Structure 1
Amino acid sequence: MTHSPPNWIIQKFGGTSIGRALDSIVDHIVPQYFPASNVVLVCSARSGASKDTGTTNLLLKAATEALTPRNSPNSPSAPGTPGTPSALTRPRFGSPQQSRSASPTGFSHSNLDDSLRKLSLSRSTLDQPDFVLTANILREEHFSAARDLIKNDNVRISVEADISADCDSLCEFLNAAQIIDEISPRSKDAIVGLGERLACRLVCAALADRGIPNELVSLEGVVDAFVEGGCSSDDNNNTTLDQGFYTRLAQRLGERLRKCDGKVPVVTGFFGPVPGSLLQQVGRGYTDLCAALCAVGLNGGELQIWKEVDGIFTADPRKVVTARLVPIITPDEAAELTYYGSEVIHPFTMDQVIRASIPIRIKNVLNPLGPGTVIFPDANNAHDARNAHNPGEEASEAVKAQHSGIVSSKLPTAVTVKDNILVLNVHSNRKTMSHGFLAKIFTTLDRYGVCVDLISTSEVHVSMAIHGSNSSKRSFDRLVKELESIGTVDVHEDMAILSLVGRAMKHAVGIAGKMFSVLAAGNVNIEMISQGASEINISCVVQELDAIKAMNIIHQACLNINSNSI
């Protein structure tokens, strides 16, 4: 693979950043890096004023509505029904074609006040299928954002026409789905992928309004050329994507992005239908994965994940007032923090970049000059790693020196809490001949699709910490009933996992003893204890009502720079 110069910077922006801080992105962040470096923007679907009005949620709602029968006499029954667009008159849904379309009756491209919007969306005025009304809300949400951000009338009118054409295409697609009464996983992927394209249209228009050259890179068809390779099947003939698939996809992305010479590529985080469905194979975090693969394909100097926080902290700063920013962290520490409650970046996504020796920087979209937190492939060589131009980097040297002091004193890196935990205890009915006891438990858990966060075992007793979102109450009750045939079962609810994470801990003698001693001194009861095989994580389960107190106690005793060395 041909390598690009190391000045490619890949910036990934989440839906909240696109929805609430797009002005900061186009006015401050991009100009700081472009044109000094080659900048790539990877965008998630735009968030809304509330969770319900987020783009992805509205798209999923519209898909559900298309399969919900209506009793209205005007409900569409075939293409060409009056008042309903024909599914046969436009390009295939998901096409990146730059089409133009007028808005539906009741919509204005400018100065549409809230009362008119409510009137135009009211069921009494528009006797349309529910999914059309939802698509119109989606349309107006993006129109409103365009009016707030774009001053040039020609640019605004053009992007509104593109947005309207995309929403019309969505309605036509859903109309066809309603007729055949089916939406396949591949079709659902395409519906959700519209959100990223709408977000990219806004970003491109806002950049053009500021005179920054850009190009919308829509990735719907990027997988088609090599879909036969890089896949495997399990015993049940379920398709899975292996590393070969992601390696080839990264190469294709790099080839495509290099064609945007002299422009800022604005990339849809959705990279097209994949074997087995993108949502099922990757989940809704596919935008982070897309950004990682772009970085790999371009041999980028840095992958930047822009959020609404300054970076990774030693604890949740909303709960621990003495929490401080961690300037440098290792991939395995970041993975542990992600799993145990601190949202950083998905470990699989991170692995794609780290294997290519590309650093990841977590930055705040509302504080672009902040140094952020860097996830380096090897923290021991952090200062020797490639470091892209980063505004505010000079100001962070003192923080880096502080971090070096932490490592030399063998202090942990961070403490985190994962709430909504259930503890499930199973004690064998048989006091002897316990062969098969553990196998029966894990077979039952697997059948119910339950993942275990922590586990502590003996020959005849198992304690497991399970996240409450693993299954519904009804399903969990059935699980407990089935486990009762194996042994005595009791459940403790309203618990939390408290985790102390740090690479230096494996060389620190007495850290576990200090952790549990200070919890005992603080009158915090410990339900169960577990230490990861990686030796960089010590976890215990406590009552949820004690979790914040426990986090503060541990932070003060084990992560305070002024504490005595452990």
Structure 2
Amino acid sequence: MTYGPSGAESIKAMTGNDLPWIILKFGGTSVAEADRWQTIARIVRERLDEGVCVLVVCSALRGVSDALDALVEAALAGEHAERLQALQRRHLDLAAALGVDGPALLAPHFERLQQLLTGIALLGEASPRIRARVMARGELMSSTLGAAYLARQGLDVGWQDARDLLRARETPAHWPATRRFLSATCDASPDPALRERLARTGARVVVTQGFIARDAGGRTVLLGRGGSDTSAAYFAARLQARRLEIWTDVPGLFTANPHEVPTARLIERIGYDEAQELATTGARVLHPACIDPVRRHRIPLHLRSTLAPELPGTVVTADPGDHGPHVKAIAVKQGVVLVAMETLGMWQQVGFLADVFAVFKRHGVSVDLVATSESNVTVSLDPAANTLAPEALHALVEDLAAYCTPRLILPCAVISLVGRHIRSILHRLGPIFEAFDAHHLYLLSQAASDLNLSFVVDEAQAIPLARRLHARLFEADAGTSRPALNGTATGVASGQHA
């Protein structure tokens, strides 16, 4: 679908298919209001002035993915009509505010949603495959409205279905359907054919969706909740983009979550590896899977805010410029489940760990942190990487019981100090351990990568502990420079994670 006056031949003649690409990903908050789309149009024009092509990757409107998930549950009870009408009204209201023909643009999406929900209500079941098709409508609707609005602003815009651009990797048939359809991954190799395909749209601005792809059978799959960041990173890698920009409602990465620690400070530059650690340990500004595709091809990643587009944000790059030992940030990951496995039979026994971890693999469960002793192995399960439904955990524990005595500990949280060469400054970090006085510490992990030091505690203790740790590491030296502890940071401390 192409908007605007230019045809494919004119763009090919103008660019020779050789113009570099900049990928702009806009989160749910950024695409939910008409004034934010004005900001998006201005950003797109500024990037076009750099002599590039622009790929705009849209999330669903803020809260719509949750609303679609709730619609599925309501349809199972035959009570989805009102919820569907509210979802339709929200999108039509945005269309009216944007000055585009909402009823005409969105009618096919509303009709398909109605068909899917009616089918769910009649069958009384919603497989992961059907759930993926319902959830995909959020991004398809937001991007349809956005492309029409940008065209109305005089931009030469093409719209593409991301499911025609991204192919999911095949997964083992025995993996749970939730993993195959709701947490898929894609290849991130350079793809000249994709450049050619986008050039044939005849537009220097192409609007597409995050979060969605197709599998080898042509079926809709999702890239996991928050997967729009990952989609954008795949596109950046496949197009060998000049840079990837992720726009959300906060201006970058902070020394802690500013919503939970109001004194947190903005990090101006950070390396790929530290950003990866922050993303995997709980910094929700970035999806953990979005770092590797850009790191592999050394594509700079810029984190910016549509609420404050004048701020430079955080730049994630191969060389952040601070190579000495330091703690860069504190991250908190909540909703964590610990699995403690007790047995005296593992002592000096060959293959025990292989046996128990094979159980996790068979259940499609990814392990995060690991701690071992002569009679105990304790692992943490990340809720962002796993479906931790009670029935799934029960099945896992039942199978583990063949090798040990398993015990679930929940709800827990992981507090991580993220930085470089942390082992070399442990003597300076000593005083922070006083913050754990009188708190139950279940697990401590310090990996060979020397990028983080993590503690697992009861979930209720996590935020108060994070505030105390942040005060000891960052706030006491707010008026001085102590790069050995906190690297490069500024005093910006407002906003919330997307």
Q: Mark yes or no: TM-score above 0.5.
A: yes
Report the equivalent of 2:434.
520
Does the CA contact (< 8 Å) of 1:519 and 1:553 recur in 2?
Answer: no
* Alignment deviations for residues 502-558 of structure 1 (CA, whole Å, 9 cap, x no partner): 1x325x62x234435422266254332111131211112234344334323433444
CA contact (8 A) 1:189 1:279 kept: yes
CA separation of 1:494/1:138 partners in 2, compared to 1, >3 Å: closer, same or farther?
closer
Match of 1:247 among 170, 189, 193: 189
Is 1:46 matched up with 2:61? yes
Counterpart position of 2:26: 13
What is aligned with 1:456?
A: 371
Assess, with a 3 A threshold, how the Cα gap between structure 1 residues 454 and 432 changes in structure 2: closer, same or farther. Answer: closer
Q: How big is the shift at 1:366?
A: 0.5
Cα offset for 1:281? Answer: 6.6
Name the CA distance, whole Å, in 2 between partners of 1:271 and 1:493: 31
| C-alpha distance 251-322 of structure 1, shift in aligned 2 (>3 A) | same
Structure 1 residue 364, shift from structure 2 partner: 0.7
Give the equivalent residue in structure 2 for 1:552: 467
Scaled by the length of structure 2, what TM-score is found? 0.77
TM-score (norm 1): 0.69
* Corresponding residue for residue 452 of structure 2: 537
Q: Secondary structure at the match of 2:367?
A: coil
1:303-332 deviation line (CA, Å, top 9, x unaligned): 101111110011112233432111111222
The amino acid of 1:40's aligned partner reads: L
CA positional deviation for 1:18: 1.0
Alignment of 1:65-464 (within 5 A): 68=76, 134-150=83-99, 156=100, 158-172=101-115, 188-222=131-165, 234=172, 236=174, 245-247=187-189, 250-261=191-202, 263-269=204-210, 272-275=213-216, 282-376=223-317, 378-379=318-319, 382=320, 404=321, 407=322, 410-430=325-345, 434-435=349-350, 437-464=352-379
Partners in 2 of 1:477 and 1:179 — Cα distance? Answer: 30
SS where residue 18 of structure 1 aligns? coil
The answer as to 2:388 corresponding to 1:471 is yes
Higher RCO (CA 8 Å, separation ≥ 6 residues): 2
1:498 aligns with 2:412: no
| 8 Å contact kept, 2:211–2:225 | no
Residues 256 and 470 in structure 2, CA contact (< 8 A), matched pair in contact too: yes
Change (3 A) 1:243 1:192: closer
Q: 1:514 and 1:425, CA in 2 relative to 1: closer, same or farther beyond 3 A?
A: farther
Given candidates 30, 33, 44, the residue that maps to 2:47 is 33
For residues 132 and 544 of structure 1, the distance between their equivalents in structure 2, rounded to whole angstroms, comes to 37
**Is the CA contact (8 Å cut-off) linking 1:307 and 1:365 kept in structure 2?**
yes
1:236 deviation in Å?
A: 5.0
Per-residue CA deviation, residues 285-313 of structure 1 (Å, 9 max, x unaligned), is 44333322332343321110111111001
| 2:293 partner amino acid | Q
Which deviates more from structure 2 when the two are superposed, residues 511-520 or residues 194-203? 511-520
* Mean CA deviation greater in 320-329 or 480-489: 480-489
Aligned residue identity for 1:364: S
Q: Do 1:426 and 1:487's aligned partners in 2 also have CA atoms closer than 8 Å? A: yes
* Residue of structure 2 equivalent to 1:74: none
One-letter amino acid of the structure 1 residue matched with residue 459 of structure 2 = E
Query: For 1:37-90, what per-residue CA distance to the aligned partner results, in whole angstroms no more than 9, with x for missing partners?
Result: 43221112223xxx4xx1x34445555666x486xxxxxxxxxxxxxxxxxxxx
Alpha carbons 1:12, 1:304 under 8 Å: kept: yes
What is the CA–CA distance in structure 1 between the aligned matches of 2:186 and 2:281, rounded to whole Å? 29
Determine helix, strand or coil for the equivalent of 1:204. helix
Instruction: Give the count of matched residue pairs.
Output: 457
Match for 1:471: what amino acid? L
The 1-side partners of 2:397 and 2:115 are apart by 46
Pair 1:524–1:335, CA change in 2 (3 A): farther
TM-superposed CA distance for 1:475, in Å, is 5.1
1:342 to partner: Cα distance? 0.8
CA distance in structure 1 between the aligned counterparts of 2:129 and 2:184, rounded to whole angstroms: 19
Change (3 A) 1:270 1:319: closer
* Deviation of 1:355 (Å): 2.0
Distance 1:257 1:350 in 2: 24
- Runs of 5+ unmatched residues, structure 2: 1-15, 486-498
Q: Deviations over 1:465-520 (max 9, x none)?
A: 34577533455456556656655666544432111111x325x62x2344354222
Summarize the Cα distance change of 1:253–1:317 in structure 2 as closer, same or farther, 3 Å threshold. same
Q: Report if the CA contact (8 A) 1:17-1:365 is conserved.
A: yes
Which amino acid in the other structure matches residue 41 of structure 1? V
8 Å contact from structure 1 (residues 24, 366) kept in 2 = no
Asked if 1:4 is matched to 2:41, the reply is no
Identity %: 28
More displaced stretch, 302-311 vs 283-292: 283-292
3-state SS in 2 of match to 1:412 = strand
Cα separation, partners in 2 of 1:478 and 1:280, compared to 1, 3 Å: same
Structure with a larger share of its residues in strand: 2
Alignment partners' CA distance in 2, 1:233 and 1:549: 40
CA distance in 2, matches of 1:145, 1:461: 55
CA drift of 1:142 comes to 1.2
CA distance in 1, matches of 2:367, 2:175: 26
For 2:380 and 2:111, the matched residues in 1 are separated by 47
Residues 428, 437 of structure 1: 8 Å contact kept: no
CA distance in structure 2 between the partners assigned to 1:276 and 1:315 by the alignment: 42
Work out the CA distance in 1 between the residues paired with 2:198 and 2:228: 16
The worse-fitting range, judged by mean Cα deviation, of 291-300 and 308-317 is 291-300
Residue 12 of structure 2: aligned partner: none
Q: Partners of 2:377 and 2:447 in 1: how far apart?
A: 16
* Higher-Rg member (1/2): 1
Whether the 8 Å CA contact 1:429–1:486 is kept in 2: the answer is no
Q: Report what 1:94 is aligned to.
A: none
2:376 maps to amino acid: H
> In 1, Cα distance between the equivalents of 2:160 and 2:393?
44
Contact 1:499–1:540 (CA under 8 A) maintained in structure 2:
yes
